[in-house]
Structure 1
Amino acid sequence: MTSRIDWSAGAWTTPPVATSRVGEGLRITAAEGSDAWRRTAYGFVHDTEHALLAPLAAGEAMEVVFDAEFAEQFDQAGIFVRASAERWVKAGVEFADGALGVGAVVTDGASDWSVGDAAEWIGRPLRVRVSRGDDALTVRAGIDGDPLRLVRVAPFPAELNASAGPFVCAPTRAGFEVLFLDWVRSTADSSLH
């Protein structure tokens, strides 16, 4: 069973510069310098992401559909899953070193980053889905309307109290806007493949 989540049902981790309703969607304008990262390789902690979060229990999945012009270093959008300041996952797409990539940052005290090429996704509405099982979070993504591809399976214990929802970051520029077209909750995926 799939149910749409109302934009008013979420709470911001960090409020964005601006939001506006566009039909059923929500346009989010990110602050320059917004990001989420903890320590690894870079040595810094950033916890200024713009994530609109609602509860996500084990046995549930959540997905977002969004569209944006990814053009500047580290423009990013997708789904953010948060259990605490030290334990969270951001999954989606990010523009880095001149190319769009799909991936996830999994953080448990320190962050890691996995990324793969998604150049063919530029200029298309995208869908990102996270699914909570008993001991893992499964991330899938793709062009909206196409089959989603497996991006990551990460440890995420069922006993964690977590929330999730759309996120946007713009570490290097002002004015980055993402139009989220849909935000839904459904039953967790029954298999990985």
Structure 2
Amino acid sequence: MAEQAAQAARDVDWDSGEWLHAPVRVERTGEGHLLVEPGAESDYWRHTSYGFVHDDGPALLAPLPGGSAVEVSFRLDYGAQFDQAGVLVRVDERNWVKAGVEVSDGSPQLGAVVTREVSDWSVAPVPEWAGREVTVRVSRDGDALTVRARVDGEAWRLVRLAPLGPDAAALAGPFCCSPTRGGLTVRFTGWRQGPADRELHPEG
């Protein structure tokens, strides 16, 4: 169950990860948060509809073995078109998943992009989440990634179920991008790892 697994998660020190594409600026705050400024026009996307390939957003990654989960928390205080933050799970440049909150058409959208050679995007509007702390949880079990999210400790929402081969070597951690501008700063408030969720559809 997601709630039980989340309670067993442990904090990960920001220094435990390695940067895939270094940010323009990164800074630790006095309360232990991490401020990250991605490069201008950075993004992750592969071909579908838009016809381009982008693979240059900053992501702080650590191993995500089978049977484990990763959680990333951040403040949703950004609002430009396609500003985004959340969790990136990466096998290589052609196989990855990003999940979080992205601003699209004037509203924060909770969603995920699943890429296996080409990208597949799904979103749902969450305007009521603006200004609050969002947590994205990605759980790896068997041949699947289960993506959940919540705001300010409320109930988890199921966002996406995506395939990932059980033998794939994957890395995961916080990421952010700003496809339409420079100057975005995302405040990450936590990074945790723990056991995978035991059930896809827990009762109660």
Q: Counterparts in 2 of 1:1-193, with a 5 A limit?
A: 1-22=8-29, 23-193=31-201
Contact 1:19 1:28 in 2 (8 A): yes
Aligned-pair distance for 1:81?
0.2
Q: What SS is found at the alignment partner of 1:70?
A: coil
Aligned-pair distance for 1:68?
3.6
The residue type equivalent to 1:18 in the other structure is R
TM normalised by structure 1 equals 0.98
The residue type equivalent to 1:52 in the other structure is L
Contact 1:101 1:116 in 2 (8 A): yes
Task: Give distance in 2, aligned partners of 1:7 and 1:150.
Answer: 26
Aligned-pair distance for 1:24?
1.3
Task: Give distance in 1, aligned partners of 2:26 and 2:155.
Answer: 30
Aligned-pair distance for 1:173?
1.2
CA RMSD of aligned residues (A): 0.8
Contact 2:47 2:119 in 1 (8 A): yes
Contact 2:76 2:129 in 1 (8 A): no
Task: Give distance in 2, aligned partners of 1:84 and 1:27.
Answer: 25
Structure 1 runs, 4 residues or longer, greater than 3 Å off: none
Task: Give distance in 1, aligned partners of 2:143 and 2:38.
Answer: 32
Contact 1:74 1:96 in 2 (8 A): yes
The residue type equivalent to 1:177 in the other structure is T
Q: What SS is found at the alignment partner of 1:176?
A: coil
Aligned-pair distance for 1:49?
1.1
Aligned-pair distance for 1:71?
1.1
Task: Give distance in 1, aligned partners of 2:200 and 2:129.
Answer: 23
The residue type equivalent to 2:70 in the other structure is M
Contact 2:78 2:186 in 1 (8 A): no
Aligned-pair distance for 1:148?
1.2
Task: Give distance in 2, aligned partners of 1:181 and 1:44.
Answer: 32
Give the unaligned 5+ runs of structure 1. Answer: none
Contact 2:84 2:101 in 1 (8 A): yes
Q: CA-to-partner distance for each residue in 1:38-83, whole Å, 9 max, x for gaps?
A: 0011110000111100000010000011014221100000000001
Q: CA-to-partner distance for each residue in 1:75-118, whole Å, 9 max, x for gaps?
A: 00000000111000000000011011000000000101010111
TM normalised by structure 2 equals 0.93
Contact 1:2 1:184 in 2 (8 A): yes
Aligned-pair distance for 1:125?
0.6
